[in-house]
């Protein structure tokens, strides 16, 4: 064995051993049953294996891919700059508590956030959890007199506009366009039936300009009013909140002790906020304090006495999940600006499983057909080409595992195609060798010429496909990128396996004995 | 030794004008289709909107699914039944409300008691993102073609390069056209397939070109047409076999790869066939025309000098 042969042999053996080393955790991880894999808790042996296994794309294991845009239009310069990073932090906090293995949260461009949650089952719940602004405020409700004063003022304003013919109002309600919709009025709010809400919202939009800056109107969530009818309350609140969500130290969902079966969210305030809360409640005994979540009044309990302990609770018609999720978002903090989902891709777990099965099946059948053809057509030389192709696939998989590059369904397609393309290089070489043999050359000379002449062609054809793969990677979203990666790695590995490896085997044999015939 | 297509002597170049007609007709048909239909059918990736793939635990009549959607105020949805009647693709032109699936499931399960409805896939793309993705796709295709053009131009003299590049366009456009005819939608995956094809279709061309260049030197006494034919016949077996192995892989993807990558697989299957055809009848044929043109311009000059 000469030096160059030794060098080649060592490189092939090392590459193969390293590949097997990197692939071993993947083999072990994916032989664990699906349900167990998904449910594996952090720091368990299975979870440790996952960190070294080939990551599957969302299209294969199911999951949620979201692109969200942060609406920064209402923020000032420095706030706007920090808003996206702050939003990412908040979303990460929320997701951590939701408990998803390997979430990905990334900034994209100036004002976008990409969130990927693999293996997720309840996409709707996750979206609600992530997308909710969760701006929590505690606002004092205006006294009945103050509220009445504002309602009267709005009535007068609207009546005036109606009389001037600038507003369409039901004639029977023309004197009091707003308050005549009230079913009944409480201290600081009016109660309306759901059917009247759209009309009243339209009226209020007209009267927006006369609401003083120190007050604001806010709707409640749907609730039961006097007489057991459900509807919505319209509150007059002090604009400036007494406390905000930042003062929440911890939040948890619990069953209401006095009303079994009803869920509520208990809040524990930070020590500083607790002091302020005690002060506010002390100064406003007898008034209503509204708990406002995302501009909607969740509840407005009466302050019966000074509350010193720094605890509060939010009650409402929660399912256990809703209460739990609300606790999560309140504890994680509010988003600095509203976010909207501009792109969403969800793949259910069953489709992911089907895709894996289909992809593997297609790859396997394709490979079988290629193997059969190569064996029949090129016999032992064909078998060598197949060995090279198998090494090629091994290297691609090992590369994915080693660099933690994601395997996607198009990625599997890329591997399947690579199988076809990988043997192409050997076909070029073998055809060239056959041609030289027909020309009367000895086996050894034919092999040498065949490799030399075919090499340039193989390099050319692989390079052009690599150019395309590079553009694919630039352009692609997740699954497509997976394809570009497997294709590119496959082509590079191809130069190694189809050219260097097979040549080494021929040289190894031909240096030892002179063949008169080659099985080709 | 099992050998196919060895020692052939097919006068390929003789029939090249018929091939021009054939290719020209396909290109025109694609152009006509695009003009008549106002562009290809776009998937939600580019058009924006929402695609829901849902699966019920039993077969449901499409009409009832439509009525259920209408009842939810989701009229105008495109409904396609797949997978034996229990699976549906619902396509909404506008970005649906965030909880569209939850509402649909509730309504369907109420309408058909005892049926469970499962979400297989949801794709929602806002209009802005759709436009961006479409723009990126166009740039990726153009960039990829340009990259290959530069490479081929650098590797071969102009006479060859022009044929290679035209054949590349030819393949991408015709595969695009066939997908349109087949009623497939343009999606990110289809664009990926077109890009892969762009890289792959040049492969056979390179094999043939290398041999033509060699033969043009050694067979300088023969006519150009004859030299081209000899080179093409000599490389015929490898042109066909290399295409055949990739064809096998693509066909397996088409039949077994599942619905998600079916468009991709179809594009590859068709693309491999046309890539092989165009290596001979577009790339090589046009290279031959360029050689002939080049000679005709040189000969009178030489005649004058004499």
B143 shares contact with chain A (CB less than 8 Å): yes
Share of chain A above pLDDT 70, in %: 99
Q: pLDDT at residue B191 above 70?
A: yes
Within 186-225 of B, beta carbons closer than 8 Å to A belong to 188-189, 191-192, 195-196, 198-200, 202-203, 206-207, 210
Exposed/middle/buried for A501, CB within 10 Å: 0-12, 13-18, 19+? buried
Q: What is the pLDDT of residues A371-430, one digit of tens each?
A: 999 999 999 999 999 999 999 999 999 999 999 888 988 899 889 888 888 899 999 999
B125 shares contact with chain A (CB less than 8 Å): yes
3-state secondary structure of B47: helix
Please give the CATH number for the structural domain made up of A348-512. 1.20.1640.10
| Cβ contact A303:A281 at 8 Å | yes
Exposed/middle/buried for B222, CB within 10 Å: 0-12, 13-18, 19+? middle
For chain A, give every domain's residue range.
Answer: 138-334, 348-512
Decide if A366 and B140 are in contact by the 8 Å CB cutoff. Answer: no
Q: pLDDT at residue B116 above 80?
A: yes
Q: What is the pLDDT of residues A238-293, one digit of tens each?
A: 999 998 888 888 888 888 878 777 888 888 899 989 999 999 999 999 899 998 98
Q: Looking at the partner chain, which of A373, A435, A464 has a beta carbon nearest the beta carbon of B202?
A: A464
Position B300 scores a pLDDT of: 62
Cα–Cα distance for residue pair A248/A291, rounded to 1 Å: 13
ipTM: 0.89
In this prediction, residue B302 has a pLDDT band, given cuts at 50, 70 and 90, of: low
**Taking CB atoms and an 8 Å cutoff, what residues of chain A touch B118?**
348, 350
Exposed/middle/buried for B229, CB within 10 Å: 0-12, 13-18, 19+? buried
**Taking CB atoms and an 8 Å cutoff, what residues of chain B touch A373?**
244-245, 248
Decide if A467 and B3 are in contact by the 8 Å CB cutoff. Answer: no
Q: What is the pLDDT of residues A198-248, one digit of tens each?
A: 888 888 988 888 899 999 999 988 877 767 788 899 999 999 999 888 888
Q: What is the pLDDT of residues B23-48, one digit of tens each?
A: 999 999 999 999 999 889 899 889 88
Cα–Cα distance for residue pair B251/A360, rounded to 1 Å: 14
Question: Average pLDDT of B253-260?
Answer: 91
> Between these two residues, B102 and B226, which has the higher pLDDT value?
B226
What interhelical angle do A77-98 and A123-131 show, nearest 10?
A: 150
Question: Average pLDDT of A353-358?
Answer: 91
**Separation in Å, CA of B129 to nearest CA in chain A:** 7
> Between these two residues, A185 and B138, which has the higher pLDDT value?
B138
**Separation in Å, CA of B109 to nearest CA in chain A:** 17
Phi, psi angle pair for A64, to nearest 5°: -125, 130
**Taking CB atoms and an 8 Å cutoff, what residues of chain B touch A369?**
248-249, 251-252
Position A218 scores a pLDDT of: 93
| Cβ contact B164:B170 at 8 Å | no
Task: Report the residue of A368, A471, A478 to disrupt the B interface, i.e. the one with the largest count of B CBs within 10 Å.
Answer: A471
A104 sits in which H/E element: strand A104-108
Position A226 scores a pLDDT of: 66
Q: Looking at the partner chain, which of A343, A362, A520 has a beta carbon nearest the beta carbon of B124?
A: A343
Q: pLDDT at residue A48 above 90?
A: no
Write down the mean pLDDT value for chain B.
88
Position B96 scores a pLDDT of: 57
In this prediction, residue B229 has a pLDDT band, given cuts at 50, 70 and 90, of: very high
Decide if A472 and B192 are in contact by the 8 Å CB cutoff. Answer: yes
Within 114-153 of A, beta carbons closer than 8 Å to B belong to 123-124, 127-128, 131
Question: Average pLDDT of B78-94?
Answer: 85
A427 shares contact with chain B (CB less than 8 Å): yes
Position A65 scores a pLDDT of: 92
Going from the N-terminus, what domains does chain B have, and what CATH number goes with each?
12-42+129-305 (1.20.1640.10), 49-124 (3.30.70.3400)
Write down the mean pLDDT value for chain A.
87
Fold of A138-334: Gyrase A; domain 2 (3.30.1360)
Decide if B253 and A355 are in contact by the 8 Å CB cutoff. Answer: no
Position B306 scores a pLDDT of: 44
Question: Average pLDDT of B110-131?
Answer: 89
Cα–Cα distance for residue pair A237/A84, rounded to 1 Å: 30
First to last CA, chain A: 24
Q: Looking at the partner chain, which of B122, B133, B248 has a beta carbon nearest the beta carbon of A373?
A: B248
Task: Report the residue of A122, A362, A454 to disrupt the B interface, i.e. the one with the largest count of B CBs within 10 Å.
Answer: A362
A109 shares contact with chain B (CB less than 8 Å): no
Position B97 scores a pLDDT of: 61
Q: pLDDT at residue B193 above 80?
A: yes
Phi, psi angle pair for A455, to nearest 5°: -55, -45
> Residue B149: closest CA among chain A residues belongs to which residue?
A464
Q: Which has the minimum average pLDDT: A281-290, A506-515, B32-41, B293-302?
A: B293-302
Position A330 scores a pLDDT of: 83
Q: pLDDT at residue A80 above 60?
A: yes
């Amino acid at each position: 064995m000469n030096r160059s042969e030794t060098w080649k042999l060592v490189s092939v053996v090392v590459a193969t051993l390293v590949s097997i080393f990197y692939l071993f955790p993947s083999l072990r991880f994916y032989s664990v049953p699906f349900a167990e894999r998904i449910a594996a808790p952090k720091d368990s042996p299975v979870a440790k294996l996952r960190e070294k296994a080939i990551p599957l794309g969302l299209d294969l294991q199911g999951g949620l891919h979201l692109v969200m845009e942060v609406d920064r239009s209402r923020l000032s310069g420095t706030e706007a700059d920090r808003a996206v990073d702050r939003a990412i932090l908040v979303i990460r906090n929320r997701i951590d508590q939701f408990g998803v293995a390997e979430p990905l949260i990334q900034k994209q461009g100036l004002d976008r956030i990409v969130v990927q949650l693999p293996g997720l089952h309840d996409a709707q719940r996750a979206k609600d959890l992530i997308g909710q602004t969760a701006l929590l405020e505690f606002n004092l409700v205006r006294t009945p007199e103050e509220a009445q004063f504002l309602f009267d003022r709005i009535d007068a304003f609207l009546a005036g506009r109606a009389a001037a013919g600038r507003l369409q109002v039901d004639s029977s309600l023309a004197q009091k366009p707003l308050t005549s919709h009230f079913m009944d009025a409480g201290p600081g709010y009016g109660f309306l039936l759901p059917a009247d809400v759209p009309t009243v919202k339209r009226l209020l939009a007209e009267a927006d300009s006369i609401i003083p800056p120190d007050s604001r109107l806010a709707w409640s969530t749907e609730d039961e009013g006097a007489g057991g009818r459900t509807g919505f309350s319209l509150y007059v609140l002090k604009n400036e909140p007494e406390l905000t969500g930042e003062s929440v130290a911890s939040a948890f969902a619990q069953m209401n002790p006095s009303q079994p079966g009803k869920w509520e969210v208990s809040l524990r305030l930070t020590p500083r906020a607790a002091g302020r809360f005690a002060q506010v409640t002390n100064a406003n005994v007898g008034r209503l304090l509204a708990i406002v979540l995302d501009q909607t009044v969740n509840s407005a309990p009466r302050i019966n006495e000074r509350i010193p302990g720094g605890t509060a609770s939010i009650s409402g018609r929660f399912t256990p999940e809703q209460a739990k999720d609300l606790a999560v978002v309140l504890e994680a903090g509010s988003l600095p600006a509203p976010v909207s989902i501009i792109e969403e891709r969800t793949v259910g777990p069953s489709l992911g499983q089907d895709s894996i099965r289909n992809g593997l099946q297609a790859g396997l059948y394709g490979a079988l057909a290629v193997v059969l053809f190569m064996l029949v057509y090129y016999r032992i030389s064909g078998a060598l080409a197949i060995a090279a192709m198998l090494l090629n696939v091994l290297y691609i998989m090992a590369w994915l595992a080693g660099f933690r590059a994601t395997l996607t369904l198009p990625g599997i397609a890329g591997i399947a195609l690579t199988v076809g393309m990988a043997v192409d290089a050997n076909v070029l070489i073998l055809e060239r060798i056959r041609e030289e043999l027909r020309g009367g050359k000895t086996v050894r000379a034919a092999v040498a010429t065949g490799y030399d002449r075919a090499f340039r062609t193989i390099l050319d054809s692989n390079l052009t496909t690599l150019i395309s793969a590079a553009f694919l990677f630039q352009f692609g979203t997740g699954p497509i990128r997976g394809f570009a990666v497997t294709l590119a790695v496959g082509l590079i590995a191809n130069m190694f396996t189809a050219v260097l490896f097979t040549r080494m085997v021929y040289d190894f044999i031909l240096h030892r004995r002179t063949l008169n015939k080659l099985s080709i | 030794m099992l050998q196919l297509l060895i020692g052939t002597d097919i006068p390929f170049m003789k029939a090249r004008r018929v091939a021009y007609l054939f290719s020209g007709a396909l290109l025109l048909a694609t152009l006509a289709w695009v003009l008549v239909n106002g562009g290809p059918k776009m998937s939600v990736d580019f058009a924006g909107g929402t695609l829901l793939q849902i699966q019920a635990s039993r077969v449901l009549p499409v009409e009832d699914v439509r009525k259920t959607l209408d009842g939810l105020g989701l009229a105008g949805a495109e409904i396609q039944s797949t997978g034996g009647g229990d699976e549906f693709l619902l396509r909404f032109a506008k970005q649906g409300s965030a909880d569209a699936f939850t509402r649909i499931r509730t309504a369907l399960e109420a309408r058909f008691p005892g049926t469970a409805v499962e979400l297989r896939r949801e794709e929602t793309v806002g209009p802005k993102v759709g436009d961006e993705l479409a723009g990126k796709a166009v740039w990726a295709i153009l960039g990829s073609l340009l990259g290959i053009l530069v490479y081929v131009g650098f590797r071969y003299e102009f006479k060859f390069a022009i044929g290679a590049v035209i054949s590349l366009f030819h393949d991408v456009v015709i595969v695009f056209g066939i997908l349109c005819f087949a009623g497939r939608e343009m999606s990110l995956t289809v664009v990926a397939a077109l890009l892969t094809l762009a890289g792959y279709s040049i492969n056979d061309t390179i094999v043939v070109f290398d041999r033509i260049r060699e033969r043009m030197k050694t067979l300088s006494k023969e006519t150009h047409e004859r030299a081209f034919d000899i080179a093409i016949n000599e490389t015929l077996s490898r042109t066909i076999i290399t295409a055949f192995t990739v064809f096998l892989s693509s066909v397996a993807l088409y039949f077994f790869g599942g619905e998600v990558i079916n468009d991709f697989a179809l594009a590859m299957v068709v693309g491999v066939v046309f890539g092989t055809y165009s290596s001979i009848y577009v790339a090589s044929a046009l290279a031959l025309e360029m050689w002939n043109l080049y000679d005709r311009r040189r000969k009178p000059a030489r005649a004058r000098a004499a």
